[in-house]
Chain A
Amino acid sequence: MTLFPRIFFEGLVLGALVLTALGGVGLLALLANDWRKGTLW
């Protein structure tokens, strides 16, 4: 049985958590930008 190596597992999980966190921050930044420009909806 060939297993996914530790480095792959760590990179995958850490990468996912960092991307999720960045997603939250990014959404707020986008909202602020649209709000400032009056292009929310």
Chain B
Amino acid sequence: MTEGGAILPVETAWLLLGAFSIIWVALGVYWGRKEKSLTGFMLAGRNVGLALGAATAVATWVTSNTTMLAPQFALQMGIWGMLAYSTASIGLFLFAPMAGRIRRLMPNGFTSAEFIRLRYGRLAWYIFLAISLFYAFTWLISMGIAGGLLLEALSGIPYLWGMSVILLVCTLYTVFGGLRAVIGTDFIQSFVILVGIVVLGWAVLSQISLSEVHVALVEERPALLDVFLPVAVMAVFNNLLFGLGEIFHSNVWWSRAFAMREGVGTRAYVLGGLLWLPIPVAAGFIALAAPALNINVPQVNMVAPIVAGELLGTAGAVVVFIVVFSSIASSIDSLLAATSDLITNDIVGEIISPGASEAALRKASKWVIGGLGVVAWLVCRLENADLGTVLFRAGPFVGSAIWPVIAGLYWKDANPSAVVGAMLLGSATGLYAYYTIGWYTAALIGTAVSMVIVIGGTFLAPRSFDWERLAVRTRRLAT
């Protein structure tokens, strides 16, 4: 280890950071050079194929939480911790058929909030937009903070510098290349992440067998192998619902559904889920090997890099650094693009300048991405938060949006007033549970309350909806 507990020399870290930054920005400029239309910039021309579609689902869903928090979960909650994290992939599987339906119902659609407006009216739209923007911004901030903290912990690059470089690079290539740059870099980043995790797993297995890891756990930490670990079982459900709520409501996933070619979305999300499913276990098991390898873990949230650094030295540290950097960049760029789409399409295009042309909105979109990057940087400068809890605080909000989205897509009679009540009461009760019971119950309770209100309200007062109203072209092409 280097000075201050970092596992990578700071010079090497700067070199890696610089090299990857240049590559990402250059690719952003290259892919963005021909994008002249709003659809091209925001939705990559609505023609994304299977390979890039599946890869972008994987890369976006692999955040620094997956690569860093999954090992932490494993060390705290054992096998159930890893399995709990893996259940987040179920969101990708369940969103798969929805992606196909979204593309068919809204061939001219741009955002998830636009769907809520057309489906349920403006009051539901305001609430949904507030939830979506709050969640997206929380996620963006948590990724920015995680990026700065992780680069500092891994290499000693000061927090402010690491966080600033990551945000700047992601903002630049998203401004230049739009969603095409985001999806293109996502492919490279997802490949890097998959290879990096396999290399780290292989490094552990070359030093110790799985039988030895199991024996050491039975002797030293049997609770990690406990079949009935109550907190972990709760975490399974919370993670599952959190994943569902995040994917079902978030424009990050809807914009990809709009961007994929007709007929691609369903297959791409199923493949993305399959590719993502084993990652928390493959990354998490590295932490479980620590007792058998006699590796001391002073900070549980740094268990993966500590084990990798001990086993592979600088090479292991380089792999972890690249995997973490790719995980964070692939999420930040997606959040910048999708959040900017929400602000540009739903706030600028509907509230500030209704009826604005595609050309005007395309220009606005670049400014919004840049502005988001600046605001995120300012907040990240001030705040310092724990990796897990920042995001889990948003759990009840996204949980309360699951049923409004499902009912809106599949239930012709879904009642708009019930949907409004479901989002408000679901969020409020979930948040109450977060503070009074525990973080692991927040999404569960928010979702349950929301479900009861949507289903009950619709049975009591059904409101028939004409699906054709979703196919409307909301943006005019002329300047």
Contacts and interface: CB of A to CB of B under 8 A. Distances in A.
A6 to B, nearest CB: 5
Given A6-B214, A16-B281, A41 B180 contact: yes
Contacts of A1: 222-223, 226, 228
A13 B187 contact: no
Contacts of B201: 13, 17, 20
A16 B282 CA distance: 5
A39 B222 contact: no
Interface in A24-41: 24, 26-28, 30-31, 33-34, 39-41
A19 B281 CA distance: 11
Contact of A27 (B51, B278, B279, B281): B51
B54 A27 contact: yes
Decide if the interface of chain A is mainly helix, strand, loop or mixed: helix
B269 interface: no
B477 to A, nearest CB: 21
Decide if the interface of chain B is mainly helix, strand, loop or mixed: helix
Given A3-B227, A31-B187, A41-B52, A13 B285 contact: yes
A39 B210 contact: no
Interface in B268-300: 271, 274-275, 277-279, 281-282, 285
Given A16-B282, A20-B278, A40-B49, A10 B198 contact: no
Interface in B203-241: 205, 210-211, 213-214, 218, 222-223, 225-228
B42 to A, nearest CB: 14
Contacts of A23: 58, 194, 274-275, 278
Nearest to B201: A17
Interface string B382-397: 0000000000000000
A33 B51 contact: yes
A16 B285 contact: yes
Interface of B: 44-45, 47-52, 54-55, 58, 79, 82, 180, 183, 187, 190-191, 194-195, 197-198, 201-202, 205, 210-211, 213-214, 218, 222-223, 225-228, 261, 271, 274-275, 277-279, 281-282, 285
6 contacts: A3-B227, A12-B79, A16-B281, A17-B201, A34-B51, A40-B49
Closest 8 CB pairs of A and B: A30-B51, A16-B281, A16-B278, A24-B194, A19-B278, A23-B275, A3-B225, A31-B51
